[in-house]
Amino acid sequence: MRLRVEGLTAGWTAVPAVSGVDLDIADASMVALVGPNGSGKSTLLKTVYRALRPTAGRLVLGEADVWRLPHRDVARSVGVLGQDQHGGFDFTAREAVALGRAPHLGVFDRIGPADAAVVAECMETTGCAAFADRPVSTLSGGERQRVLLARALAQRPRLLILDEPTNHLDPRHQFDVLSLVRGMGITVIAALHSLDLAAYYCDTVVVLSGGKVAGAGAPDEVCTPGLLRRVFGVEASLLPDPVDGRPRLLIRPATDSPPHRAAGAAPQENREHTA
């Protein structure tokens, strides 16, 4: 599903967190939102899934303004895995995933066999079927993250919003999650902290800085040494992966950045620091 962001301005105070953002996200593409903390990634995503109304501009999903669509229509089209979501801590994992079917049910409808089949499929796909009957409150952070992803997939969305989807996941499961959503054939927008994962998995990388778009395009067009140094204060090199040729990003501290010191450690004099 294509998404157009036109002149979007939004925030929680009088000072906008994002301002004048323009993006055109193609159908069935995977897009990474990257940027320093406080750059506006989560704020922008919240306007898409209608958790925050923009103060200016608009979002066009397909051919319709997101904020003019009935809420139920948006819920059927847009799946969300957010940072501040709760998984239904009094529910079992299966019951929590079943909540994803709610937009497709009537007010008095119950989960039917077809819905149960979707729930089972999504739990199997995301690797959480093994703990389907455990209370969500007993799961680890990574297990809970997989339950929440399964719940979003159970909506059968055409647009999937992921806000830091790799939080709490070990490296293997980070790869598993991003490979999974990349192969689904739907539009995916993911806010990521890892620049390397963004470059490796995504068709488009959007760099936010100070609430504005600092760069947007294919990874090799955007993940340039100059832009990443200016926005993140790091040195970077984009190289082809020796196995599959996809872009891999090597990142190191900028040569003029202060050396890292553990919290509480006293500065040491007369020592040279090399990056």
Tokens of 57: 């501009």
φ and ψ at residue 206, rounded to 5 degrees: -110, 120
Residue 32 placed within a domain: yes
Smallest Cα–Cα separation from 201: which of 247, 244, 169, 170?
Answer: 247
Residue 253 placed within a domain: no
- What is the average pLDDT value for the chain, to the nearest integer? 90
Residue 55 placed within a domain: yes
Please give the share of the chain, as a percent, with pLDDT higher than 90.
85
Q: What integer pLDDT is reported at residue 270 of this predicted model?
A: 40
Quote the CA–CA distance of 66 and 210 in Å, as a whole number. Answer: 24
Instruction: Write out pLDDT tens, residues 18-48.
Output: 999 999 999 999 999 999 999 999 999 999 9
Confidence of residue 268 (pLDDT cuts 50, 70, 90): very low
Residue 83 placed within a domain: yes
Confidence of residue 109 (pLDDT cuts 50, 70, 90): confident
Residue 170 placed within a domain: yes
Strands 30-34 and 18-25: unpaired
**CATH number of the domain where residue 141 is located:** 3.40.50.300
Q: Are 206 and 31 in contact (CB under 8 A)?
A: yes
Sequence-distant (6+) residues with CB within 8 A of 16 are 9, 10, 55, 211
Residue 246 placed within a domain: no
Quote the CA–CA distance of 198 and 216 in Å, as a whole number. Answer: 12
pTM of structure: 0.88
Number of domains in the chain: 1
- Residue 113 vs residue 86, higher pLDDT: 113
* Three-class SS state of 78: strand
Instruction: Write out pLDDT tens, residues 133-168.
Output: 999 999 998 999 999 999 999 999 999 999 999 988
Instruction: Write out pLDDT tens, residues 236-263.
Output: 999 999 999 999 999 999 887 555 444 4
Residue 268 placed within a domain: no
Instruction: Write out pLDDT tens, residues 48-103.
Output: 999 999 999 999 999 999 999 999 999 999 999 988 666 556 899 999 999 999 99
Residues pairing with 187 in the sheet: 159
Helix (H) / strand (E) element for 135: namely none
Quote the CA–CA distance of 182 and 16 in Å, as a whole number. Answer: 31
Q: What integer pLDDT is reported at residue 257 of this predicted model?
A: 57
Residue 125 placed within a domain: yes
Confidence of residue 186 (pLDDT cuts 50, 70, 90): very high
Confidence of residue 267 (pLDDT cuts 50, 70, 90): very low
Confidence of residue 272 (pLDDT cuts 50, 70, 90): very low
Smallest Cα–Cα separation from 160: which of 30, 24, 8, 10?
Answer: 30
Quote the CA–CA distance of 151 and 98 in Å, as a whole number. Answer: 7
Query: In this structure, which amino acid lies at residue 117?
Result: A
Whole domain around residue 98: which residue ranges? 3-224
Quote the CA–CA distance of 195 and 250 in Å, as a whole number. Answer: 9
Instruction: Write out pLDDT tens, residues 223-242.
Output: 999 999 999 999 999 999 99
SS3 content of the chain, % helix, strand, coil (to 5): 35, 25, 40
Tokens of 195: 């620049």
